[in-house]
Amino acid sequence: MATRQRGQAGQAFPIYIVMVAGLLFLAFALFAVGQASAARNGAQGAADAAALAAAQEAREELRVPFLQALREPDGLNEFLGGSQNPGLGREEADRLAARNRSDVTGFYWRQGFWQDRVTARVKTRYTVGNSVIPSTKDRHATASATAVVEFRCSLKTTPEPADPRQGDDDEKDKDDSKGTPGPFEFTCDGRPVIIDLDSGDPLAELSKLIFSVHLIDD
């Protein structure tokens, strides 16, 4: 009987070895998945930062052309229907990606309805790392993110009363047309914003008041 028990124990030992080896492999595989997930999260953070940085720089660049558009009869509509410079914000996107140990591999703007979208694609400079899965050693994580620069205001217009003497005073109308238009009253997310073009510096924080910047799903 003792011989039989030793024989059974001897037969079970290889099974234990296989089970332990299987559990160890599973543990290492889960660790590899964790490594890949961490690299992916790092890439996504770099992409988000790059897209937001580009959009924020673009928002600041819009201030001057926006004020110029208000001086033209139909300038605001033309301004809102325009599109961004394709390379605007690329330097900031590269800088923020580099701070997150990544490189921008794709960058482009798309025109929308009263908004422009910028997409940044990045690739990490680091790899997933060594693991039981051979391909992870040289694999870099990639991700993309899209941010928008969105006009969030509406222009409040007040109709001017008709002047019965208008047709009799053409010279006065000619002189008046030389003046600066405005002031303009906008409503931005429920907040009144008045822009006076005669002011030396009409609203230093203008860009942040009238344009929102945020990430969206690709």
pLDDT of residue 16: 58
Token pair for 4: 């039989």
Beta bridge mates, 145:
120
- Quick one: pLDDT at residue 167? 47
- Residue 35: both structure tokens together: 């490594």
Per residue in 27-86, pLDDT (tens digit) is: 555 555 566 677 788 899 999 999 999 999 999 888 888 888 888 888 888 888 777 778
pLDDT of residue 47: 96
How many angstroms separate the CA atoms of 47 and 24, rounded?
Answer: 35
Handedness of CA 95, 96, 101, 105 (dihedral sign): negative
Tally of CB atoms within 10 A around 91? 12
pLDDT score for 103:
97
Q: Express the helix, strand and coil content of the chain in percent, nearest 5 each.
A: 50, 25, 25
More confident residue, 176 or 78: 78
Tokens of 72: 């033209």
What mean pLDDT comes out for the span 17-35?
58
Model confidence pLDDT, tens digit, residues 148-175: 999 989 887 654 444 444 444 444 444 4
